[in-house]
Structure 1
Amino acid sequence: MSKKAPKRIGSRAKLREYFIENVGVILNSDILREVAGTSEWGRRVRELRNEEGMNIVTHNDRSELKPGQYLLINLKPLPAFERGISKEVRAFVLDRNGFTCQMCGIAAGEPHPDDGGRKARLHIGHVIDKSMGGTDDATNLKAICSVCNEGASNLTSNRPDTNKLLVQVRRAPASVELDVLKWLIQKFPKQCEAFLKELKK
């Protein structure tokens, strides 16, 4: 009777296990890349957040974190987004974008200078991230290479200025404004505390 080959653990599963083993510990990108064993570790982390609802935060969510740092807050799952981009839509977006990264301009298969000369691989990225309300519609999708994809989480090509953002918040329902306030308090706890003390004077 032949023995079964040992089951290989994918990079996403490796990262999931590592985050769970290190709840509450700040992890940097070098460690996560090593654990995942792939240059696409950033994409796998976003899948853990968006598709599995793992409460992983970055400097975009918490002011005390530096770029390249990740933190699993707790094991309580957040609402997850299902993978919903069909092969047809992926093919359409890649063709529409001329099989080039819409952030750095490198073409699929070209040696990437920021990835050790490895051939560039293209993925489908969101213009407005799903965690910020973006959709899987082709108009909200773009071709993006692995290198740019690592640093693209929760970034948009059109970032609103202060006035535009405040107008949008003011026009939102009170429940949405409270959600924004909760998020700001979580991201800037020390600054919010100092601000409240200043208001009480």
Structure 2
Amino acid sequence: MSSTGSLFGEDNLTKHHIEDIIRVLKRMSNKVDKGDLDADLLPDHQHATKLLSSLGMSLNGIDDKDARGRILSYFLQRIGQPIEGEALRTIAGISEWPRRIRELRVELGWKIKTQKTGRPDLPAGVYVLESAEQDEPHDRGISDQVRLEVLQRDQSRCQHPGCNWSTADRSEGDPRFTIELHHIHEIADGGSNEVENLISVCNVHHKAIHSRNPATLAWLREWSKT
């Protein structure tokens, strides 16, 4: 399991665990919506931390006493739902709320998408958290400008042969739900976060790469030579 795991992945989480965690996060978010940011939030925060810790995960920045935590908690209650920037500004309560969102996306790896960061179908100024699963640490640190250049180059489509999937092709029952960026040469092996070292892939083929699927790795090696 990764350091954060996936609330909906195949990491041996029981339905009870998932429902309990989400119930705690919703209570926290509801209190934020009501402006109740006093010490009453502490028991919920501690409970969620204990639950996730028992599963080898962490809240990774969820703290309703700071703006970034309030934004993340709000997103987690509304996974997959488009959210207007004005609502996030109100939740954050600070003028630099866009920076907090960039930190969540770039530094902590939360899959928060906008029109320019992987969801061209979204209206300008609208955000969506596509999953409760964070990017792996080695897939973080990519600036929004570089991300945009890679997505534009690849037309926001999965580059795996025979896939060509984009978020506009979503359909019920299809495990593909987002486009992610993969490092051709891993950061651990000296790779960089430059456009030339990144490729767009759907979440299914990205997982196949990290699962060391032989056919997928063979394709990636050939692609890197072009």
Shorter-chain TM range is: 0.3 to 0.5
What TM-score do you get using the length of structure 2 for normalisation?
A: 0.38
CA radius of gyration, larger in = 1
What TM-score do you get using the length of structure 1 for normalisation?
A: 0.42
Compare relative contact order (CA 8 Å, sep 6+) and give the higher one, 1 or 2. 1
